[in-house]
Amino acid sequence: MAQFDLLVIGSGPGGYIAAIRAAQLGLSTALVEKDTALGGTCLLRGCIPAKTWLETAHRFEQMQVANDFGIDGVDGKALRPNLGAIVKRKGRIVTKNSKGVEFLMKKNKVTVLKGLGKLLGGGKVEVAGDVHEAKRIILATGSAPKPIPGLETDGQRVINSDHILDLTELPEHLVILGAGAIGVEFASVFSRLGSKVTLVEFMDTILPLEDEDVGLELAKILRKSYKIDVRTKTKITRIEKRADGVVCFLEGETPGEVVGSHLLVAVGRAPQIEGIGLEKTKAQVDRGCVVVDKFMQTGEPGLYAIGDIVRTPWLAHVASDEGIVASEHAAQSLGKDAHPHPIRYDRFPACTYCDPEVGSIGLSEKAAKAKGYDVQVGSFPFAPMAKANIVGEPHGFIKIVADKQYGEILGIHILGPKATELVASSVALMGGEFTVDELINTMYPHPTLNEVFPEAARAVYGRALNM
C-alpha cells in the first residue's frame, strides 16, 4: 500500500494544478487519472481542441478578405476547409499540451497513477486494483455531456461537444440546440467554414448568462454577418432521424420544423461523481454537486472537491484556483507554511470565443439592479476606434456597470475583437476596486483596442470623446 500526504483524483486544470501546488508545498503527492492521457476534459475534449477549431475558422475568414488588406493572389472563393487536417492539427496540439502536463508531474515529483480512482473510506483510494492511502484527498473528476431524453446522441447525425471535435466532413446544415458558450462557439466555427447554421435557444437571449445587451447585439451580428438563423424563446421538443439528416420539431416563438444534416446538442453537462465511492464518506451531495465550504472542504474530514463537481462556475480557470485553495488548505492542516485565500466568485472572468468574442466580469446591469444598487451604465462601441478598424473588426462594444453613489465598477462586459484578452484588464480593474473616475484618469496607449475602457467610463457621465 503506497502512502501519500495528498492524493488528487482527476488530472484536469483543477486536479493537475492542485497536485503541483501541493508538491511545491512539500507534500508527497499522487495524481490519479482514468484516461490514457493527462489533462482532463478541458485539454482533451473541451477548451483546447475547441479553440483550435475557432482559430482555424478565424484564419479562414481572414484569408477570404485578403484583398481588402491589399493582398493579391488569394482567391477567397476558391478556399476550402480541410476538416481532416483541422482534426489532425487539433490532435497535435492536444498531445503536445498533454505531454506538457506529464512533464510538470515529473518535474514536481508527483506520482501519476493510471486508472479509475474510487474512495474506500478512511483515507484509502483504490486505483486499478491497488489500494493507496492519503492523509488528504482532492476530488477533481469533472463533468461530461448529459443525455437529454428524446435527444440522445449517436455520434453520427446527433452529436455532442465531444463528437463535433472529430468531424471530418463539413455539415451541410448544422442545427445547434443551446446558445450558451459551447453552442455559440460552434455556430461561429461552422458558419465561417461554410455550413448553414440554425441556433436554437430556450431563453430570451443567446448567451443567457451574459449581460442582456451582449446577447442581443451578438444575435444581430450572427444573423447579419454570418447568416446564422438564431431562434430564441424556442425549444426542440422531438427529433426524427433520417439517413441523410435530422428533422427537428420546434415549439415556442419560432415553431415549426427544421431539417438539418446534423444536430449538435450543446445543453446539459453533469458532474462525474457516480462510481467514485462518495457513499463511503460523509460528503453531502446537493442536486448532483458535492457540497463544499470556502476552502473546498466536504463534510468528510480531509476530503476536498473542486471544479465541475461543485456548485461554482464551471470554468477551467475557476477549477485551477479552487485546486490551489484546496491544496494550500490541505498543506496548512498538515503543518506546512501555506496561506489559502478563499475565491471571490463575484469577480471571475468569463469568456466566449465566438466572433466577435465575449469577455465579462462582475454583475450584469440586471443583476446589479436586483441587488439593490442605484446603477449607472456607460457603453462605447468599437466602431470609432482606430485599432478596431485597422484589424478589420469594428463590431461590438464595451459596457461598464457602476454604482451611482460611490462610482464603484460593478461589472464590465465586452463584445468585440480580442474581448477574451481585453477582459484581463477588467479583472485587474475590479480586483483593485477601481471607480469610474479612477478609470477615466488612467492613460491608455493609442492606437489600441484597450482605449475603449476610459471611453466607456466617460460614457457613464455622458461625455465620451470619440463619438
In the set 132, 163, 329, 446, the catalytic residue is 446
Q: In the annotation, is 446 catalytic?
A: yes
Q: Give the 3-state secondary structure of the chain.
A: CEEEEEEEECCCCCHHHHHHHHHHCCCCEEEEECCCCCCHHHHHHCHHHHHHHHHHHHHHHHHHCHHHHCCCCCCHHHCCCCHHHHHHHHHHHHHHHHHHHHHHHHHCCCEEEECCEEEEECCEEEECCEEEEEEEEEECCCEEECCCCCCCCCCCCEECCCHHHHCCCCCCEEEEECCCHHHHHHHHHHHHHCCEEEEECCCCCCCCCCCHHHHHHHHHHHHHHHCCEEECCEEEEEEEEECCEEEEEEEECCCEEEEECEEEECCCEEECCCCCCHHHCCCCEECCEECCCCCCECCCCCEEECHHHECCCCCHHHHHHHHHHHHHHHHHHCCCCCCCCCCCHHHCEEEECCCCEEEEEECCHHHHHHCCCCEEEEEEECCCCHHHHHCCCCCCEEEEEEECCCCEEEEEEEEECCHHHHHHHHHHHHHCCCEHHHHHCCCCCCCCHHHHHHHHHHHHCCCCCCC
Closest CA to 294 of 331, 321, 276, 334: 321
Catalytic residues: 446
